[in-house]
A and B are shown apart, each in its own frame.
Chain A
């Protein structure tokens, strides 16, 4: 990982943690949308993309958004169809997954997935 990758990964993990805190503490507008929406739109996907080591910022950003949509939707749909619909716990699950991916990506070097 480059220094920028590490910085962005840390931002993703921190934003996820803040999003969880805001959602569970019922913090309202205007701060909550400014943290939660960007995190859900980019965070989980970027955490996964870090594992791919793509070396192309455009591709990384594109895949980060696409995978974030896929992850957010998968978590929400599983909860809904399981009869356990809870946006709060969905954010918790997504933030946890993101943190695990970031933690897994940190020891990786670019050369692992050439």
Chain B
């Protein structure tokens, strides 16, 4: 499935010119790379995460950090545009990019980011503590593979807690993605420039942020591996009978278009002939084993894999025609036997919104277009970055289509995840996941836009490579003000757990805080909003405090409230709540006789409900 020709003989270095080019080929990029890494490392201590505003991490990045990334990009482009790009040098540049873009928060923040990271750690901790999974607790326990694996690794490696691995998850996951991505890109072209620019684009545009300590992060790796295996070792080699029948009934331009789209691919045929039945059978078993690991790990990704492999079969670019059926059987088996508890109680949630595109768009787009003015810049940057990449990919597909080679498998795989939108809104995240699943193929198409005949100017290439980086930093880390946590916040949560006996009701203003990492099933976790609305908290804080006491006292168990910096930041950024509202509400709670302040630090306060008189 080769896109474009590799560099021609005329473009190769001649023996006489090679020594003179050695400095340009190796010394210059290595020097630039070394300087970029050194500048980046030196800039890290200057990042003061507490000063981050609603624009996210970019607002606190010093010039050195940005200059280092720009220098790395220039160096990468120099290697890429040399006559014989050295793949080891390109690999080093991409690894450096991964570290700069994905490990930066690990180095500058005190605790693992994202509230959900802490929740995931709590589920693995539950497995460690009890040695079992209870599917009645929630959906996570119906797809527990990731959490069981996390528990195994934590215990076997004698780690202090599951969280020991969490901070490094983005870096580790993105390094893991490199292998299958390289395999996928190499099936598209012999030209290392297309392959490595596609990889660069992938890391410069993967702003979704699903690579934290999550089932999705690991499942995405398996998704890439499965598609890499199919593209590499199970390419389509013959035309399907159904398509031949259809083509026989078409005329004119439509038939010519289909013929062109479906033309035999010499590269695919050649590689298919090399795979003899014994290895093909062994690789089929590997595919099934990897998918079998994916099914109990994540609810959505198996459907994305199914859509991808079914699409490849439909467009006649996979010779493993029974694979979609096998995968569907595996998914059905898990849902029928192991996820019954979840579907028994949530069948309406799962199927009720199928096909409701309006609600899906409302949850995925409409509800995100709110918040402070700086936060809106972040939201529009995300939309703009996505649109730019997709437009570039469409342009690349058009250029590729006009050259020799088949664009079909990559275009089809880029489109394949979109029907998943019809299934359900997935908590307002389905569009993000669709972007993620289509990204590896979008970047292959986008990379094809930059190479081949006519040549793209090196300046244009550099501008494209550079332009995505600041957009990426805004899009990916735009919520950093609410996504990062401090030692103080974690200490407050620790204090909460120490004070609250099992069975207590734990309340937070809203869910953005580092809790649930222990006692996942031992406490009742609650949100104050929207039961008590922000308008009430803002307008009549004293009345809201009385309502809060009633809410927390509704059950005859000890009740605690924790208010943290990150909750206030999330309310301010995503719900438009004024910065002073939360602190005034905290003061009102602290002055109420119904509450006792049991812990306080710079970033958090913990209150206990007093069980007196009317409260009983």
Contact = CB atoms under 8 A, between A and B. Distances in A.
A72 B152 contact: yes
Nearest to A61: B179
A59 B105 CA distance: 30
A51 B286 CA distance: 11
Given A80-B148, A114-B279, A40 B176 contact: no
Nearest to A36: B157
B579 interface: no
Interface residues of B, number: 42
Interface of A: 19, 23, 27-29, 32-33, 36-37, 40, 48, 51-53, 58-59, 61-63, 65-67, 69-70, 72-74, 76-77, 80, 83, 85, 87-88, 90-91, 112-114
A40 B289 contact: no
A16 to B, nearest CB: 12
A77 B334 CA distance: 13
B137 interface: no
Interface in B341-385: none
A85 B132 contact: yes
Interface stretch (B19-27, B290-298, B448-456): B290-298
A79 B132 CA distance: 10
A87 to B, nearest CB: 4
Contacts of B279: 52-53, 113-114
B222 A62 contact: no
B123 to A, nearest CB: 13
B127 interface: yes
B290 A67 contact: yes
A78 to B, nearest CB: 10
Output the residue of A32, A40, A58 with the most chain B CB within 10 A. A58
30 contacts: A19-B156, A36-B158, A40-B156, A40-B157, A51-B282, A52-B286, A53-B279, A58-B183, A61-B179, A62-B179, A62-B180, A62-B225, A66-B180, A67-B290, A69-B218, A70-B293, A72-B149, A73-B149, A76-B152, A80-B133, A80-B148, A85-B131, A85-B132, A87-B151, A87-B152, A90-B156, A91-B156, A113-B276, A113-B282, A114-B276
A32 B160 CA distance: 12
A83 to B, nearest CB: 7
Contacts of B218: 69
Contacts of B156: 19, 23, 36, 40, 87-88, 90-91
Contacts of A83: 132
Interface in B148-184: 148-149, 151-153, 155-160, 176, 179-180, 182-183
Contact of B179 (A65, A77, A85, A90): A65
Contacts of A23: 156
**For the complex, would chain A's binding face be called helix, strand, loop or mixed by DSSP majority?**
helix
A53 B225 CA distance: 17
A74 B288 CA distance: 13
B276 A63 contact: no
Given A73-B297, A76-B148, 6 more contacts: A58-B179, A65-B179, A66-B290, A69-B149, A77-B148, A112-B278
Contact of A29 (B158, B225, B232, B289): B158
B286 A63 contact: yes
Contact of B289 (A27, A33, A67, A113): A67
Given A33-B159, A91-B156, A67 B286 contact: yes
B547 interface: no
Output the residue of B221, B286, B292 with the most chain A CB within 10 A. B286
Shortest 8 CB-CB distances between A and B: which pairs? A62-B179, A85-B131, A70-B293, A87-B155, A33-B157, A66-B225, A76-B152, A113-B279
A29 B158 CA distance: 7
Contact of B182 (A58, A70, A73, A90): A58
Nearest to B281: A113
Given A51-B282, A76-B148, A114-B276, A70 B292 contact: yes
A49 B451 CA distance: 35
Given A69-B149, A76-B152, A32 B292 contact: no
Nearest to B146: A73
B139 interface: no
Contacts of A80: 127, 131-133, 148
Contacts of B228: 59, 62
B35 to A, nearest CB: 29
Contacts of A90: 152, 156
